[in-house]
Each structure stands twice: as structure tokens, then as C-alpha cells.
Chains A and B, each alone.
Chain A
């Protein structure tokens, strides 16, 4: 069965600083990988996704993520955060085979300080 781990429950970053949110997955092959963002009081919005090909994926709002097969990771990065990036971020994995459905991590809450 597939699983996904977001080891950081809460991260605080200064505005303008760089950001990296960690995501590790467990699956017997290369899965499909997703990052979502949830602003307070809102539903989730898809930031980016990896299906195949280039392991560095560009998303919306200036985010990118890098798939590293050897580390079973799909970390989300942004070179310079803005106060509006304060939100909760969810990594998700979907197995390519069988009858798997999308599995979400438990989320990382991002706080931005001035």
C-alpha cells in the first residue's frame, strides 16, 4: 500500500527567506505525486504534480518540487516566501497500479513572520 509522510507539522519562515517543505513517500514503484495548498477557510488548491519526465516540476505561485527516486522524496521549494504563502501544505501520492486512490500526508502548516 502507498503512504506519504510529511515530517514537519509546523514551520516558521521569515518573509523573503527560502522555503523547503519535506515529503517522503512509500510505494513499490514511481507514483504520481502532488502538492496542494490550503489557505485558511478555503478548500485545497493544486500547486503542482509529477507524473513522469523532468524531475524538477514547476507549479503555480512560484513553487517548484523535485522528485528524487533514490530518497523517495518530493520536496516543495520556494526561493522567497511572501506573507500570502502562509497556509497549510499537503503532499499526496497516487499509486500507478492497482486500485489505489490518492493518499494525503498529514500536512505542514507554514507561518510567515515579517
Chain B
């Protein structure tokens, strides 16, 4: 079965820390996405990657960066965590073989991040 795995379900960090959120997909797909989910705001795209070492900003990239060194792994980095980055973070990847329709179809279970 298709799987997108996020390394942590819950994470608590302090203001100013550098935080890494990891995501791994087993579908061999080029595209991977990072979203944050906040009540009343739905999901907002932070960054996405369409190939190894390739990345593109989404709607809210400020305060974040990403790393894609291997096809299966896409990391979200909070350079200096702030309290307004407390949120649920979701990683996603398209379904295998979807080609040009390769929008997110498989999601990880999310990482609930609290910044104190």
C-alpha cells in the first residue's frame, strides 16, 4: 500500500531552535509537498519539490526552508522557530503514475508541532 511517513507525530521545541520535520514516501514520485494546517484556515502550501534538489515556494514560505537530497525524502526546516509556527504540518505526495495530474493525493499522518 502507498505510504507517506512523517517521522514524528508530536514535537515540542523552544523559540529560536532549528527544527527539522522529516517525510518519506515509498512511491518513487518526483513531487512532494509540505503544508501547514490551522483551524479556520484549511491547508496552506509552504514548499513543494518536483525533483531531487529542486524546490519551489508555496503560499507561505517565510520562516521555512526545505531539503530534498534523495527522491524519497523531503525535509521541512524551521530556521529559527517562533511561537506562530505552532501548527499541524502535513507532508503529501501524488499517486503513482498520475503524471500531469500530480497533485497531492497521499498524506502523512501529520506532525503536531508546539513552539514554546
Contact = CB atoms under 8 A, between A and B. Distances in A.
Interface stretch (A11-19, A39-47, A73-81): A39-47
Interface stretch (B12-20, B68-76, B104-112): B104-112
Interface in B79-116: 90, 92, 95, 101, 103-110
Instruction: Report the interface size class on chain B.
Output: 20 to 34
A25 interface: no
Interface centre among B43, B109, B110 (most CB of A within 10 A): B43
Contacts, number: 46
A41 B45 contact: no
B105 A46 contact: yes
A43 to B, nearest CB: 3
A105 B108 CA distance: 19
A41 B88 CA distance: 10
Interface string B29-56: 0000000000011111100100000000
Interface of B: 4, 40-45, 48, 58-59, 90, 92, 95, 101, 103-110
Given A45-B107, A92-B103, A94-B103, 4 more contacts: A32-B101, A43-B108, A46-B95, A102-B45
